[in-house]
Amino acid sequence: MLCTVANGGPEEIDAAARAATEAFEDWRDTPGTERKRLLHRVADLIEEHGDEIALLETCDTGQPIRFMSKAASRAAENFRFFADRSESASDGLALPTAGHLNYTLRQPIGPVGIITPWNTPFMLSTWKMAPALAAGCTVVHKPAEWSPVTAMRLAELVHEAGVPPGVVNVVTGIGETTGRALTEHPGIKAVGFVGDTRTGRAIMRQGADTLKRVHFELGGKNPVVVFADADLDRALDATVFMIYSLNGERCTSGSRVLVERTVYDDFAGRLAERVKRIRLGNPFDPATELGPLIHPLHLEKVLGYVSAGQEEGATLIAGGACPENPGSGNYFEATLFGDAGRSMRIAREEVFGPFLTAIPFDTEAEALDIANDVDYGLAAYLWTSDVTRAHDFARRLEAGMVWVNSENVRHLPTPFGGMKSSGIGRDGGDYSFDFYMETKNIDIALARHPVPKLGKG
């Protein structure tokens, strides 16, 4: 056991929502320049405590330190990016028409709830919180019960930076009680949620009575489509990275690799060699590439998919088991299944572990069909040297984000989010402000136009 964390109930949620409501008026009216200064100060503190944050995150989640050592810089970047947009967040449009000037402006929606999952919790908390604060909203944050530690550290740093009390509040606890109370609270105007698709559905129901605005970043079963004409060495590197980094506990992981049949055997063979060499071990060892999964229940879920793959007739090419001397962690080998059919569970459902399913295809049309034939639509990766095919295929992929000849390389002004069961709404750049702010239209008459007269006989 690492530590004991409070299980906040509806009373604590209510206290936090009241604090956020009280703080809202002042924070909303704080000049953008001042919000910018404070949010940059938060970023400074995150960077100053980068090593500590990396250690806490590795302790709490089992994520290898080689990846968590970058968690603080990614998080600080989120704060800096939105800090710089604080001053322009309320900007609108001028929409003149005959005799009238219409203009829009944006105003923060009010106190918002932020609910985050256990994968890369620190980075994700900042990804949701920074735009809310830059917009002028106050926040009640409910982190995941399996990884609450860095959320509390973040709140401490936010307060140390000088952000006024009540602007950021954290309540730890269980999703079905604490999280539920947050989504039902009438003082909370919107809920930014990152997590499982089923939980998203529950939150939508829970928020219905108070007409909560919701923003959902949900699960994925993201395809990596590899055509024979691609740079196969680079495609191989990216495929391995996008499923076995971050313990495979990553919403944008490329968890299905669709490979053109003419190069399938060669590609799958090279993939297997790499997968077998992935270094599984103590997450604090900088050489470790794959750490233990976050929780015994999650390990059980992932192992269930090994059985499902075998029962459905896919070929287990690498991994698939816990190592012999696992120590006390939830260690699970990097796993590769091949020759999978599109209807198998391992080809359709989100495993959320270091678990890759390889599927051969014959034609471009078949590849597109398989890629789109799942409930999810978060990210997709496409490898080809044919520029016409790249544009056409990318346009027809049912995914909110498509990377062509690249792994996931984020650029913060771009929209991040999914289609279908992968989400509602987009984050990043100005898109985040669409969620955290109300757009208001103001119409000013520019001349004394004739107003229709009733009741004059």
Look up 407 and say whether it is catalytic.
no
The pair of three-digit structure tokens given for residue 95, joined into one six-digit string: 């929409």
Query: Cα 304 from chain centroid?
Result: 25
79 or 216, CB closer to ligand NAD?
Answer: 216
Per CB under 6 A, the list member of 16, 45, 194, 293 interacting with ligand NAD is 194
The pair of three-digit structure tokens given for residue 194, joined into one six-digit string: 């990152």
Q: Is 129 in the site for ligand NAD (CB under 6 A)?
A: no
Part of the chain binding ligand NAD (CB under 6 A), chosen from 54-62, 211-219, 233-241, 299-307: 211-219
The DSSP line for 208-260 is TTTT-EEEEE----EEEEE-TTS-HHHHHHHHHHHHHGGGG--TT-EEEEEEE
Look up 217 and say whether it is catalytic.
yes
17 or 38, CB closer to ligand NAD?
Answer: 17
CA distances from 290 to 331, 367, 414 (A): 9, 30, 29
Q: Is 199 in the site for ligand NAD (CB under 6 A)?
A: yes
Part of the chain binding ligand NAD (CB under 6 A), chosen from 53-61, 215-223, 224-232, 357-365: 215-223
Beta bridge partners of 419: 377
Size of the site for ligand NAD (CB under 6 A): 32
Distance CA(400)–CA(404), nearest Å, equals 13
Minimum CB distance to ligand NAD, residue 191 (Å): 8
349 or 430, CB closer to ligand NAD?
Answer: 349
Distance CA(23)–CA(133), nearest Å, equals 12
Q: x/- binding map, residues 82-121, to ligand NAD, per CB under 6 A?
A: ---------------------------------xxxxx--
Minimum CB distance to ligand NAD, residue 178 (Å): 7
Part of the chain binding ligand NAD (CB under 6 A), chosen from 69-77, 191-199, 303-311, 317-325: 191-199
Report the sign of the C-alpha dihedral through residues 364, 392, 369, 220, in that order. positive
The angle formed by the CA atoms of residues 351, 383 and 339, to the nearest 5 degrees, is 50
Beta bridge partners of 290: 280
Q: Please give the helix or strand (H or E) that residue 41 lies within, else none.
A: helix 32-48
Q: Is 248 in the site for ligand NAD (CB under 6 A)?
A: no
Catalytic, out of 251, 260, 333, 350? 251
Catalytic annotation, residues = 217, 251
Residues that bind ligand NAD (CB under 6 A): 115-119, 124, 142-145, 175-176, 179-180, 183, 194-196, 199, 202-203, 206, 217-220, 251, 350, 352, 378, 418, 423
